Amino acid sequence: MKNLLLGYAGNSGIAQMTKEQARMLTHVNLAFGHVVDGLLSVEGLTALHDLNKLREWNPDIKIVLSVGGWTSGGFSEMAMTEEGRQAFVDSAMKVLDQYHLDGIDIDWEYPCSSAAGIASSPKDRENFTFLMQALRKAAGKRIVSIAAGAGAYFVRDTEMDLVAEACDYVQLMTYDMRSGFDHQAGHHAALDASLGDETGMTVRRTVELFKNAGVPKEKIVIGAAFYSRRWTGVPNVSKGLLQQAESVGNYGPGYAELTRDYIGKNGWETIWDEAAKAPYLWNGSEFISYDDPESLKYKCEYLKEEGLLGIMYWEHSTDDTGTLLNALYNTLK
């Protein structure tokens, strides 16, 4: 399998990962370390002590420490000065050495933005570049990557051509493309747009956006969602698609829960959107957007046709059935 298959996994995700699953993955992104007082902290990451089983099961697997995540701050302040950046980089290299990790993944959500309740500055744009360049210099042959928001805001607020030069690959978070800020019910992780959808981002649109910003396609990793987004108070028009809901698209059930309690059960209708190449669930007033084996198959075929590097997913523990990882692996291989 020449394409990368990466899974984000927190403590519970690592704990439930099976031998067969570890052998399917090329990379595990261990989530999350944080920036605390300007340095890398891995306090609370109990999974750091459970990684040897993955290496025993799959000697070729790469285990990368992901730093950040939604509401995880400290980046802007740390990256503001050369001294601050170097102190963080030094602390990061010590952690990689201590736990024999294969690299570092920066998930700053997001430079120049305080939407997640974190500090930001207009200077984040260039300081993000400087941070990634410093990590690249220190990491040597180890992996340096980022997770990038799937939208024009991320390209606007970064220097992606320079950031990409410092990275082994750039992971596009092509999920939450409709999210906790959006009242319009629709797909949050679709390959293409629904008919009549002129506003929403898609996997294909996001890839083009980053390519145009200077990211080589050979470094692009797209994202898949192992969880859902759910809207309530949706008008019963067009089975909810593209309707203005009373709620925003809140974080919804993981795929395992969807298969147990929703898909084909309890009055939920499964609808396949051929234009978007994505499914959704509808019960007359609630709309749930998610990825399934068929939508993942289309994404994998697309990335191979486009010559992209691979696909990653968030997050391993939300599908303990193994169905979605099997779909990704079997299509890519």
For residue 261, the tally of other CB atoms under 10 A from its CB is 11
Q: Could you list the active site residues?
A: 109
Tell me the mean pLDDT per 10 residues along the chain, length 333. 93 98 98 98 96 98 98 98 98 98 98 98 98 98 98 97 98 96 97 93 97 98 98 98 98 98 97 98 98 98 98 98 98 96
Supply the pTM of this predicted model. 0.98
Residue 1 pLDDT: 59
Structure tokens of 188?
């949050």
What is the per-residue pLDDT for 12?
Answer: 98
Contact 163, 79 (CB under 8 A): no
Calculate the CA dihedral of residues 252, 256, 259, 265 and round it to 10 degrees: -60
Structural domain span for residue 47 = 4-225+291-332
Separation CA 86–CA 131 (nearest Å): 8
Biggest alpha carbon–alpha carbon distance for the chain: 58
- 276 inside domain: no
Residue 83, pLDDT score? 98
**Looking at the domain assignment, is residue 324 inside a domain?**
yes
In a domain, 31, yes or no: yes
Contact 5, 221 (CB under 8 A): no
In a domain, 176, yes or no: yes
What is the rounded distance in angstroms from the CA atom of residue 102 to the CA atom of residue 143?
6
- Measured at the alpha carbon of residue 212, what is the angle toward residues 298 and 160, in degrees to the nearest 5? 105
CA atoms within 13 A on the CB side of 143: 24
Measure CA 15 to chain center.
20
Answer whether residue 260 is part of any domain: no
- The angle at the Cα of 241, spanning 237 to 242, to the nearest 5 degrees, equals 100
Q: What is the pLDDT of residue 198?
A: 86
Distances, alpha carbon 27 to alpha carbons 30, 150, 203, in Å: 9, 21, 21
**CATH number assigned to the domain comprising residue 315:** 3.20.20.80
Q: Is 40 in contact with 95 (CB distance < 8 Å)?
A: yes
**Number of domain units in the chain:** 1
